Structure 1
Amino acid sequence: MDSSTLLLLSIFTFLAIPALSANPCRPDSCDAALGVEVRFPFRLSNRQPARCGYPGFDLFCNAQNQTIISLPESGEFVVDHIDYTAQALFINDPDLCLPKRILNFTLSGSVFRGAYMREYTFLNCSSDYMDYTGTRYIPLFCLSGRNYTVLAVNSRSLGGGLPAACRSIANVSVPLQWGLSQFYWMDLREDLELVWSEPACWGCENQGGVCGYKGDSGREIGCYRRSRSGLPRSAKYGIIVGVGIPGLVCIIGLICYACGMVRAFNIQRRLNAGLPIAVSDQRPTIRSTSGLDQPTIESYPTTVLGESRRLPEPSEGTCPICLSDYQPKERLRSLPECNHYFHADCIDEWLKLNGTCPLCRNSPESSVATPSSSMSISSSSSSTTLDRH
């Protein structure tokens, strides 16, 4: 059995193993994209079973897919966030006028208490009273009208009493957030922070777990491993190893192949740059636009190179076609028009496709019938051996 088969079997084995100590109640949300995650001790009363939540922690979804909590004596509020580790709940007014709700706010009859309570005094001032632009007074625009302005001021900062143009409406206790409770001028439109003590699930949450009932009855609370959507961690590791390593090997192979191609291209370019450049004279030449037939090619003189590897001018010791040095006993062929030498095999293949000399581009056809008389070696269609000197 090869390694790839073993890897696939391992992945399927991981997928088949159920999650140990899994919580039977899965988290839910009113809005899958932006909604608050609802899990024990909270539950969505219209979506999750009763055993998925603790008494007094029921939530529900409204028509706008907002998460709503109903406090026994204060009414309905939007749940903006739940911090399960700190056991804190952040709420606001669905109608965006939280100061109006604060006037009659109480946590009596609920399982929650205020996180950081601050006392505020609400004032009704005449419309021409403008001395609230500093940090001492907080304008409450959603409670104000054309002829009056409602302000809130921290009760501890009133000092010498009320301004002459204002009268007290109410003294309220506001459950502020920790960061905002340090500022007496905090905007009362921010979320209210509520906390709870029972059930005490903060230790389980800090360990990465989630609370839940241990059985089908009773109030005993247990800590479960948080259920994860998608594949188990072990299966993800198996896929990463099984796909990542072969993928990395393939990438390295492609890089090596690309480097080899670039290296070969550079070598070929250097070789082409070393080819001799022949300057032709001004004599008119007949250029063939197609290759020569085999009998014509074989009629050109051939020579077997001797040990001295000497060639008459203008030839050199390297074949201009394959760029290899001539070796003893190799068969060379010369072209009668220009007397340039080449490996016989190289020039034969060239002339089959091109009817001109690779160096000077002159056509040898015009001089086949008149052998050159200036050659110092005998040349014929049969092979001869070049003089050793």
Structure 2
Amino acid sequence: MALPFFFLSLFLLKPTAAQTCSTSCPAGGPEVKFPFGLNPDGNPNGPCSYPGFGLSCSNQTQELVLNLPQSGQFLVRYIDYDNQRIWINDPDLCLPRRFLDSFNISGTPFDFEFLYTFTFFNCSATAIEAAEGGLRPIPCLSNRNYSVVAFPTASAVESTNVRQFGCRPITTFTVPFVWYGWWDGVRLEWNNPDCRSCSQRGGDCRFKNRTGLEIECFNLPSEGGLPRSAKYGIAIGIGIPGLLSLIGLVLFIGGRKRADRRRGNLPSVEFSASISPSPEIVITGLDGQTIESYPKTKLGESGRLPKPNDNICPICLSEYQPKETLRSIPDCNHYFHANCIDEWLTMNASCPLCRNSPGGSAQVTPSISSSSSSSALLSP
């Protein structure tokens, strides 16, 4: 658990009107907003941030990094200001090694909601082959002679299965929320300063004055006005249908004028035709064999993915539960409940989020069938 800050933080300088603080690194990444700030040399208590929330840009990659005093630098993957959460990862993409060395957030403003205990196992190449894909080695800790795997310590069944292949336990450690199986992020949280309400209402936090740590909310939408998201929605909802209506009216008028000109140039004719029914549009999706070839993932005990909003299926809008089976779509790597995406893909050949066709294949073209017939009789 995080320790309280020392009282010297009360006397730290705040940004002045003449001082400019950057909001991003040259390599891009998450937007830096209060309470975070880009301080010189990554000082956690510098003038551009709330005490303990200083960030910096990596000298090597120019990416956004957070320095934990007891554990070193970590790459910042995402910051959720509405819920006050931050996802960090090892810059060398070997998070398990950082856990083995040490992972300590003492002396920082950060905390964590959940704790997970893992056990590392050392498995020989023979054991990995005997498991027939049941053991997933951690690449950055493994080599040709042996492999390192990890399982939640509370999972007695999995641990027993690992031991039966002759794998030897190395160590056990406890860490905050991680995406088990991928090891690509740790989620930390903070409670002070509390800007959640301000952020969720569309405003921004800042220091109230230069002498203390009291904060205030500003840039809120005007009273009686609509939130920014609602305004965007109304603009899109009204603008697009209106534009389509205008285009349709122009095309209709143009068609009528062309038809009038043709009638004026043709001799008098008698025309008889049967009215064709509306064409039937048949949209086909993917076949069952193709859908089943897309990878499945079984969630761990947490039932969550580390990316924000990824713990909710975009199709049925329900949260993922422990041990549920998800399916991902190749190339775009979006995850859904297996049953939800299977039903979707039978009718649609593209991802419901990004609309990319799996495997780079062309999108299915609707086929149009019509049983109508027409005849015409011309008389001089």
Superposed CA offset, 1:289-339 (max 9, x none):
xxxxxxxxxxxxxxxxxxxxxxxxxxxxxxxxxxxxxxxxxxxxxxxxxxx
The residue type paired with residue 101 of structure 1 is R
Q: Which residue of 2 aligns with 1:262?
A: 258
Cα gap change, 1:258 to 1:56, in 2 (>3 Å): same
The residue type paired with residue 224 of structure 1 is F
The residue type paired with residue 142 of structure 1 is C
Superposed CA offset, 1:217-262 (max 9, x none):
21111011169xxxxx8xx9xx99xx99xx9999799668746743
Q: Which residue of 1 aligns with 2:141?
A: 143
The residue type paired with residue 39 of structure 1 is K
Does the 8 Å CA contact 2:201/2:220 hold for their aligned counterparts?
no
Q: Which residue of 2 aligns with 1:101?
A: 98
Shift of 1:25: 7.7
Identity of aligned residues (%): 35
Shift of 1:190: 2.4
Shift of 1:134: 6.3
Superposed CA offset, 1:37-92 (max 9, x none):
11001011149995542111111112323110111111111000000111111011
Q: Residue 107 of structure 1: SS of its match in structure 2?
A: coil
Shift of 1:266: 3.5
Structure 2: gaps of 5 or more residues: 1-18, 222-227, 269-380
Cα gap change, 1:219 to 1:262, in 2 (>3 Å): same
Shift of 1:174: 2.0
Cα gap change, 1:223 to 1:83, in 2 (>3 Å): same
Cα gap change, 1:265 to 1:54, in 2 (>3 Å): same
Q: Which residue of 2 aligns with 1:349?
A: none
Structure 1: gaps of 5 or more residues: 1-23, 181-185, 228-232, 275-389
Q: Which residue of 1 aligns with 2:36?
A: 42
Does the 8 Å CA contact 1:27/1:37 hold for their aligned counterparts?
no
Q: Residue 128 of structure 1: SS of its match in structure 2?
A: helix
Shift of 1:212: 0.9
Does the 8 Å CA contact 2:93/2:184 hold for their aligned counterparts?
no
The residue type paired with residue 88 of structure 2 is I
The residue type paired with residue 126 of structure 2 is D
Q: How does 1:337-352 map onto structure 2 within 5 Å? A: none
Q: What TM-score does the superposition give when structure 2 sets the normalisation length?
A: 0.51
Q: How does 1:20-169 map onto structure 2 within 5 Å? A: 28-31=23-26, 34-46=28-40, 50-62=46-58, 63-103=60-100, 104-130=102-128, 138-158=136-156, 163=163, 165-169=166-170
Aligned residue-pair number: 232
Does the 8 Å CA contact 1:99/1:188 hold for their aligned counterparts?
no
Q: Which residue of 2 aligns with 1:327?
A: none
The residue type paired with residue 200 of structure 1 is D
CA distance in 2, matches of 1:250, 1:170: 69
CA distance in 2, matches of 1:259, 1:141: 65
Cα gap change, 1:218 to 1:150, in 2 (>3 Å): same
Q: How does 1:171-190 map onto structure 2 within 5 Å? A: 171-177=172-178, 180=179, 186-190=180-184
Does the 8 Å CA contact 1:92/1:192 hold for their aligned counterparts?
yes
CA distance in 2, matches of 1:188, 1:127: 21
Does the 8 Å CA contact 1:113/1:196 hold for their aligned counterparts?
yes
The answer to whether structure 1 residue 199 and structure 2 residue 196 are counterparts is no
The residue type paired with residue 265 of structure 2 is R
Shift of 1:163: 2.2
The alignment's C-alpha RMSD in Å is: 4.2
CA distance in 1, matches of 2:203, 2:26: 23
Does the 8 Å CA contact 1:27/1:39 hold for their aligned counterparts?
no
The answer to whether structure 1 residue 215 and structure 2 residue 205 are counterparts is no
Q: Residue 169 of structure 2: SS of its match in structure 1?
A: strand
